[in-house]
Structure 1
Amino acid sequence: MDQHLISLARAVKRRRRARHPTLWLFTDERRQPDLLATIAALPRGISGVVFRHDGAPGRPALARQVAALCRSRRITLVIAGDWRLAAALGAGVHLRGGVPPQSRYRGTVNTASAHDRGQMIAARRADASLLFLSPACATRSHQGASALGPVRWAALAHRCRVPVLALGGITGAVGRHFRAGCAGFGAIDALSSC
């Protein structure tokens, strides 16, 4: 785990007196061979998990294991794109591209990802309580996509009425460049090695 990124997330939590987690693990079945060990290594008090694992066999069973682990460690959990699973687990919902689920279910924390201003507006209208603005930097998740960079990222984040977290290629080395208006960080690779 990227200890410098964890330190940055702790600093954001203190500086902003944030009630929400400031360090979020985005799950990825290809890049996290032992998801439960990865979640168990997340720091308490600042962490959240966006459970994706869309193509994983036995996704609901794995999600139940993840939910139990998150509850025991007081880590916030949101389920990407599946409000029914989120409701069954008592978790929040993660809206992809700000698109709301076809349900009125609202978890304790509802997050959204956005890649442009239109998606940010959609997320706000869908009542997202946190927004991940991506790709902040070049990333394997969006190969070939144009990274926002710190200046464009901050300009977009400044226009949002909900806390905005940096996602996409985030490490401790680059996270320090996203302090202006940054309410935290989301990562895959920087948090995946135990």
Structure 2
Amino acid sequence: MRKDLDRVVRAVRYLDPDRTSVALIAMTGPKRLPDPWAALAALPRGSALIWRAYDEKPDYETARRLTAAARKKTCVLFVAGSPKLGGRLGIAGIHLPERDIGRCRGIAAHVLVTAACHSERAVIEAARAGADAVLISPVLPTESHPGGKVLGVVRLARLAMLAGALGMPAYALGGITDETHIRRLQGTGIAGVAGIGFLLHQRYSSGI
């Protein structure tokens, strides 16, 4: 129900009451949440959406319409993967997996860049490459990578502190599905949370 996501949003706001950046970043996924339209419809105003179209070939018209829909509800749209793809589609934000962080340097200065980071080395590399924010993962056990190794809250706090010292807001990604998880992250220094789970655990008439 919508009230479940409202509780998530309120919990995220408590993480950083003086924030100047978005608090909630939703992500699409080829198996768990492939439809960017459904994800965008579920998001509260002022959030961000990372369209992970790794196995697709998004066309310009779809990207144009999705960008316009995001702007209408004051959301920021990122496309994950190739910086060239994002440029061709006219999307203002690019999200890079850790292995591609070095490609930040080839992206225009006016384009926002987020990067996935799993270690101190990756956070430092993201800062050197000019990323605007980092998504630190996986923080908690996640359905996207069942049985995978997680960072935990203490390591998240260390990485978030490092990112902040380097001038980048950090977002916690992985296994965050409700306000109970978010409360565990208080005091870690993150700017907000990112993921799929907090949308999938809501029941929407939009079909999610």
TM-score (norm 1): 0.87
1:95 to 2:96 alignment = yes
The alignment-based identity, stated in percent, is 33
What is the identity, as a one-letter code, of the residue corresponding to 1:177?
Answer: R
Aligned CA-pair RMSD: 2.1
How far 1:26 moved relative to its partner? Answer: 1.0
Quote the residue 1:59 is aligned against. Answer: 58
Q: 8 Å contact 1:136–1:150 — kept in the other structure?
A: yes
Quote the residue 1:167 is aligned against. Answer: 173
TM-score (norm 2): 0.82
How far 1:19 moved relative to its partner? Answer: 2.3
Q: How many pairs were matched up?
A: 190
How far 1:149 moved relative to its partner? Answer: 1.2
Q: 8 Å contact 2:138–2:151 — kept in the other structure?
A: yes
What is the identity, as a one-letter code, of the residue corresponding to 2:139?
Answer: A
Distance 1:116 1:33 in 2: 27
What is the identity, as a one-letter code, of the residue corresponding to 1:185?
Answer: V
1:109 to 2:127 alignment = no
Distance 1:107 1:70 in 2: 18
Q: Which runs of 5+ in 1 are unaligned?
A: none
Distance 1:187 1:20 in 2: 16
Single out whichever of 98-107 and 173-182 deviates more from structure 2: 98-107
Among residues 177, 182, 186, which one is paired with 2:184 in the alignment?
A: 177
Quote the residue 1:25 is aligned against. Answer: 26
What is the identity, as a one-letter code, of the residue corresponding to 2:170?
Answer: V
Q: Which runs of 5+ in 2 are unaligned?
A: none
What is the identity, as a one-letter code, of the residue corresponding to 1:63?
Answer: A
Matches within 5 A, 1:39-188: 39-45=40-46, 47-56=47-56, 58-61=57-60, 62-88=62-88, 89-97=90-98, 99-101=101-103, 103-160=106-163, 161=166, 162-171=168-177, 172-180=179-187, 181-188=189-196
Distance 1:142 1:124 in 2: 26
Single out whichever of 113-122 and 153-162 deviates more from structure 2: 153-162
What is the identity, as a one-letter code, of the residue corresponding to 1:22?
Answer: A
SS at match of 2:102: coil
